């Protein structure tokens, strides 16, 4: 999940590189105190840091990118795999030095690791002053105040309602072109390998009016792309009865609306045809034909679906409690191709070496990759997480070297498929949105096509935030190269 290209994919890769994280940018609005936030994990965690920065800003803090200047350091943490937690622990020990030089410094652990470990974290990591879970961020100013007065604080209350709908996030490390909007929180699926339902709590959808308002405001500020975020966006469901009693009271009795994800997508897409709309993550069990036909109807809804399969084998999928099987998944992919065509980008997450996975079941994952032809994937080997269904009921019995070998085979397969998918783009004309400078050269800019692929183009007279048509001339497995054709 890495870097300032504010891109969910890149950001997810960052999570895997153990030392990568996102840091708050400097913001100086004349506040007395300085806050430094380091964020790990998924895009939703990064979005939460923007909410945290907003709450703290209203309580006297500007953000800083240099922790040695900070009065308060927050680590917004991830628990998804053991490695993610180890990284945070290492980082905390590095902050020991800062704390010894400045005993007034307040150090807080936020996010999923805070939620998972609660009070235990204060015992294990002595320098930590605060442990605050993802639904308790409104309490941060109060807890920071207590910590400054010398008492350590924990708030890991998980809410059924909190969506931070009224909080206007402070955009951190933004490229000014694309932004992320959280549309829901939590997860009600119980995938047996996954810690998220325990760390983020019950699924709840955010008021669509507040989502549309946020997207409108971003567009008015010059943003050209929004990504709607949730662990499972297809189960987005909002109704005044369930989600907002206050709004219901204002309406006539008996008149009610239920907003599903396809409706929300349409609302956001109609803000302006020059505002691109993306979303992530889609769960294969829930993605509906209606979502696909809505995507088809609007050019500005990007033709790209992140549809994590996890495994290509039905027995393993059942052990994972994914609630779909290989055939169901392939039918959904066929439907995507039928409605949105061959060019629609499809990506996946894959777990190698889940409990009891045999060699031939692993081969099913490889053959699934051949059948779907994913444009790219995030690939992991299984890491047992305490408290999950798999940890309770299944033996983590695939030796590490076998997990790693299977993962390597998956990665190699993906690289071949990514290259051949990209080669099919050569010669095509595609519209891209310019997002920033290419890492390689100041003479080149990078943009993204509808299918979420990075396209490198000569800078010419192009500006960041502009749409342009390009002809794809070359590619690698990770990137397309193009020439501008409409100027
Ligand atoms: N809600 C998303 C996934 C969120 S977590 C979905 O359902 O697809 C992102 C990815 O991390 C998962 O898709 C899975 O591939 C991976 N992951 C989750 N738990 C894991 C574990 N215990 N070990 C290895 N990978 C894991
Ligand atoms: Fe985890 Fe499954 Fe929920 Fe995704 S859908 S967050 S993998 S429990
Ligand atoms: Fe990690 Fe929590 Fe996201 S466990 S992947 S930060 S929801």
Write down the mean pLDDT value for the chain.
91
Q: Is the model's pLDDT at 253 over the cut of 90?
A: no
Per-residue confidence (pLDDT) for residue 341, from 0 to 100: 97
Q: How far apart are CA 287 and CA 305, in angstroms?
A: 10
Q: In this predicted structure, what is the pLDDT of residue 3? A: 30
How far is residue 275's CA from residue 54's CA, in Å, rounded to a whole number? 24
pLDDT of residue 97: 81
Q: pLDDT value at position 1?
A: 31
Closest ligand by atom to 380 CA: 1
Task: Flag the least confident range among 12-26, 45-59, 315-329.
Answer: 12-26
- Mutate which of 1, 43, 44 for ligand 3? The one with the most ligand atoms within 8 Å of its CB, which is 44
- Looking from the CA of 285 toward its CB, the CA atoms found within 13 Å total 15
* Residue 274 pLDDT grade (very low, low, confident, very high; cuts 50, 70, 90): very high
Which of 100, 120, 97, 121 has its CA nearest to residue 109?
Answer: 121
Please give the backbone phi and psi of residue 369, each rounded to the nearest 5 degrees, phi first. Answer: -60, -40
Inter-CA distances, 391 with 59, 85, 195, 319, 361, Å: 41, 17, 10, 12, 20
Q: What is the pLDDT of residue 243?
A: 63
Measured in Å, residue 199 CA sits from the centre of ligand 2 at 11
Q: What is the pLDDT, as a whole number, of residue 186? A: 96
**Is the CB of 113 inside a 6 Å radius of any atom of ligand 3?**
no
* Interval 171-217: pLDDT, tens: 887 889 999 999 999 999 999 999 999 999 999 999 999 999 999 99
Residue 256's pLDDT is: 63
Q: Quick one: pLDDT at residue 5? A: 27
Neighbour order of strands in the sheet with 376-381: 304-306, 345-352, 376-381
Q: Nearest C-alpha to atom 13 of ligand 1 is from which residue?
A: 349
Q: Which segments of the chain belong to CATH 3.40.50.12160?
A: 2-155
The top-level CATH class assigned to 2-155 is alpha beta
Report pLDDT digits (tens) over 140-165. 999 999 999 999 999 999 999 999 99
Range with the lowest mean pLDDT among 14-18, 108-112, 275-279?
14-18
**Measured distance CA(296)–CA(234) in Å, rounded:** 16
Measured at the CA of 486, the angle between CA 482 and CA 487, to 5 degrees, comes to: 105
Helix, strand, or coil (residue 187): coil
% of residues, the chain, pLDDT over 90:
83
The response to whether residue 172 sits with its C-beta less than 6 Å from ligand 3 reads: no
Q: So what's the pLDDT on residue 419?
A: 98
Q: What is the pLDDT of residue 17?
A: 35
Higher pLDDT, 376 or 9: 376
* 463 CA to centre of own chain: 27
Identify which of 280, 349, 384, 393 to mutate to test ligand 1's pocket (most ligand atoms within 8 A of the CB). Answer: 349
User: 284 CB under 6 A from ligand 3?
Assistant: no
Residues carrying CATH 3.80.30.20, the chain? 178-423
Give nearest CA residue, ligand 3 atom 1: 78
pLDDT for 21 beyond 90: no
Q: Residue 468: name the closest of 457, 478, 476 by CA.
A: 457
Torsion sign, CA atoms 346, 347, 349, 352: positive
Q: What is the pLDDT of residue 20?
A: 61
Confidence band of 469 (pLDDT split at 50, 70, 90): very high
Terminal C-alpha separation, the chain: 34
**Residue 347 backbone class (left: φ over 0; alpha: ψ -120 to 50; beta: rest):** beta
Superfamily of chain region 178-423: tm_1862 like domain (3.80.30.20)
Distance 281 CA to ligand 2 centre (A): 10
pLDDT(119) > 70: yes
Spacing, Cα 194 to ligand 2 middle (Å):
6
Of all ligands present, the nearest one to the C-alpha of 9 is 1
Q: How many residues does the chain have?
A: 487
Q: Stretch 50-72: mean pLDDT, rounded?
A: 94
**Burial class for 205, CB neighbours closer than 10 Å (0-12, 13-18, 19+):** buried
Q: Which of 60, 33, 36 is nearest to 49 (CA)?
A: 36
Residues 338-394: pLDDT tens digits? Answer: 999 999 999 999 999 999 999 999 999 999 999 999 999 999 999 999 999 999 999
Identify the residue whose C-alpha is closest to ligand 1 atom 19. 194
* Residue 16 banded pLDDT, cuts 50, 70, 90: very low
The percent of residues in the chain predicted with pLDDT above 70, rounded, is: 92
313-323 pLDDT, tens digit per residue, is 999 999 999 99
Rounded CA separation 234/257 (Å):
17
- Expressed in angstroms and rounded, the spacing between residue 40 Cα and the centre of ligand 3 is 8
- Give every CB contact of residue 215 below 8 A, 6+ residues apart in sequence: 181, 226, 268, 271, 275
User: Which DSSP string corresponds to 381-431?
Assistant: E----TTSHHHHHS---S-HHHHHHHHHHHHHHHHHHHHHHHHTTTT-EEE
Question: Which of 412, 323, 425 shows the shortest CA–CA distance to 370?
Answer: 412
Whether residue 271 has pLDDT greater than 60:
yes
Q: Whose CA is nearest to atom 5 of ligand 2?
A: 189
The domain made up of 429-484 has a fold known as OB fold (Dihydrolipoamide Acetyltransferase, E2P) (2.40.50)
Ligand nearest to C-alpha 44? 3
Bigger pLDDT: 255 or 404?
404
């Amino acid at each position: 999940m890495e870097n300032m290209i504010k891109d969910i994919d890149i950001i997810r890769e960052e999570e895997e590189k153990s030392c990568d994280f996102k840091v708050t940018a400097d913001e100086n609005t004349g506040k007395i105190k300085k806050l430094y936030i380091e964020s790990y994990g998924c895009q939703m965690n990064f979005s939460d840091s923007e909410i945290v920065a907003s709450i703290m800003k209203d309580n006297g803090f500007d953000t800083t990118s240099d922790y040695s200047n900070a009065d308060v350091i927050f680590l917004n943490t991830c628990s998804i795999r053991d490695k993610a937690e180890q990284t945070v622990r290492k980082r905390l020990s590095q902050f020991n030095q800062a704390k010894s030089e400045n005993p007034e410094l307040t150090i807080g652990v936020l996010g999923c690791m805070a939620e998972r470990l609660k009070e235990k974290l204060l015992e294990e990591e002595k320098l930590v002053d605060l442990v605050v879970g993802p639904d308790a961020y409104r309490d941060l100013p109060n807890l920071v105040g207590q910590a400054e007065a010398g008492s350590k604080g924990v708030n890991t209350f998980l809410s059924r309602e909190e969506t931070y709908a009224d909080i206007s996030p402070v955009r951190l490390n933004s490229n000014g072109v694309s932004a992320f909007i959280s549309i829901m929180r939590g997860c009600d699926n119980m995938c047996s390998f996954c810690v998220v339902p325990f760390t983020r709590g019950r699924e709840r959808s955010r008021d669509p009016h507040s989502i549309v308002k946020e997207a409108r405001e971003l567009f008015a500020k010059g943003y050209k792309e929004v990504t709607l975020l949730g662990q499972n966006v297809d189960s987005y469901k909002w109704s005044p009865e369930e989600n907002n009693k206050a709004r219901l009271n204002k309406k006539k009795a008996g008149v009610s609306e239920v907003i599903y994800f396809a409706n929300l997508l349409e609302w956001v897409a109609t803000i302006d045809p020059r505002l691109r709309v993306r979303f992530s993550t889609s769960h294969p069990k829930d993605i509906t034909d209606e979502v696909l036909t809505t995507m088809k109807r609007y050019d500005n809804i990007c033709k790209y679906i992140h549809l994590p399969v996890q495994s290509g084998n039905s027995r393993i999928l059942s052990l994972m409690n994914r609630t779909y099987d290989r055939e169901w998944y392939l039918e959904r992919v066929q439907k995507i191709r039928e409605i949105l065509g061959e060019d629609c980008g499809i990506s996946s997450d894959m777990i190698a070496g889940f409990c009891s996975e045999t060699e031939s079941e692993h081969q099913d994952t490889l053959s699934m990759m051949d059948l779907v032809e994913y444009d790219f994937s995030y690939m992991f080997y299984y890491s047992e997480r305490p408290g999950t269904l798999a940890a309770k009921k299944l033996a983590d019995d695939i030796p590490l070297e076998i997990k790693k070998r299977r993962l390597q085979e998956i990665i190699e397969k993906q690289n071949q498929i990514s290259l051949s998918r990209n080669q099919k783009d050569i010669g095509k004309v595609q519209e891209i949105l310019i997002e920033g400078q290419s890492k390689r050269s100041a003479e080149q800019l990078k943009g993204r096509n509808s299918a979420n692929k990075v396209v490198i183009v000569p800078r010419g007279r192009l500006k960041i935030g502009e749409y342009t048509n390009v002809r794809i001339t070359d590619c690698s497995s990770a990137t397309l190269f193009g020439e501008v054709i409409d100027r």
